[in-house]
Structure 1
Amino acid sequence: MAGSEESILIADPRTPDCEVRVIESLGFKVVAAECLDFLYEGVKGHPDLQFAPVGDRLICHRGISKVKLRELQGHGVECVQSLSALALPYPGHVILNASIGGGALVHRTDITDGALLEEAIRQGLRLIDVRQGYGRCSTSYIGDGCFATNDRGVAAALSENGFRVFISPYGDVELEGFDYGFLGGCLSMVMAGTDRLVLVSGNLNEYVMGRELREFIKSSGAIPVEVRKGRLKDRGSVLQVFKKRN
Structure 2
Amino acid sequence: MRYLKFPHLPSSKVTHVLLDKRAYNKTVYLLEDSKINIIFCEKSDDVYDAISSHPDIFYFHYENNLIFAAPNSPEKTTRELCKLGFNIIFGEKNVSEKYPEDIGYNLARIGEYVFHNFEFTDRIILRHIEKDNLKKIQINQGYAKCSILIVNQSAIITSDKKIYRKALGQGIDALLIVPGFIKLEGLNYGFIGGCGGLIDRDVLVFNGDIAKHPDYEKIKEFLKKHKVEYLCAEGFELSDIGSIIPLCQQ
TM-score with structure 1 setting the length? 0.89
Shift in CA distance, 151/65, structure 1 to aligned 2, threshold 3 Å: closer
Mean Cα deviation higher: 126-135 or 218-227: 218-227
Aligned to 1:42: 50
In 2, Cα distance between the equivalents of 1:228 and 1:50? 28
For the Cα contact (< 8 Å) 2:59–2:73, is it kept in 1? no
Find the residue that maps to 2:202 and give its secondary structure: strand
Cα offset, 1:199, TM superposition: 1.1
Counting only pairs closer than 5 Å after superposition, residues 159-174 of structure 1 correspond to structure 2 as 159-174=168-183
Cα offset, 1:64, TM superposition: 2.5
Pair 1:223 & 2:229 matched: yes
Find the residue that maps to 2:182 and give its secondary structure: coil
Cα offset, 1:34, TM superposition: 1.9
Structure 2 letter corresponding to 1:232? L
* Matched residue count: 237
For the Cα contact (< 8 Å) 2:209–2:236, is it kept in 1? yes
Structure 1 letter corresponding to 2:19? A
Aligned to 1:177: 186
Cα offset, 1:67, TM superposition: 3.5
Quote the RMSD (CA, aligned, Å).
1.8
Q: Larger RCO: Structure 1 or Structure 2 (Cα < 8 Å, ≥ 6 residues apart)? A: 2
Find the residue that maps to 1:188 and give its secondary structure: strand
Pair 1:54 & 2:72 matched: no
Find the residue that maps to 2:53 and give its secondary structure: coil
1:209 is aligned, of 209, 215, 225, to 215
Structure 2 letter corresponding to 1:159? L
TM-score with structure 2 setting the length? 0.88
Pair 1:240 & 2:238 matched: no
Pair 1:31 & 2:47 matched: no
Aligned to 2:3: none
In 2, Cα distance between the equivalents of 1:43 and 1:62? 17
Shift in CA distance, 151/4, structure 1 to aligned 2, threshold 3 Å: closer
- Over 6 Å off, 4+ runs: none
For the Cα contact (< 8 Å) 2:110–2:153, is it kept in 1? no
Q: Deviations over 1:78-114 (max 9, x none)?
A: 2111111101211000111111113211010111112
Aligned to 1:102: 111
The percent of aligned pairs where both chains have the same amino acid is 21
Aligned to 1:141: 150
**Structure 1 portions without partners, runs of 5+:** none
**Structure 2 portions without partners, runs of 5+:** 1-11
Cα offset, 1:229, TM superposition: 2.9
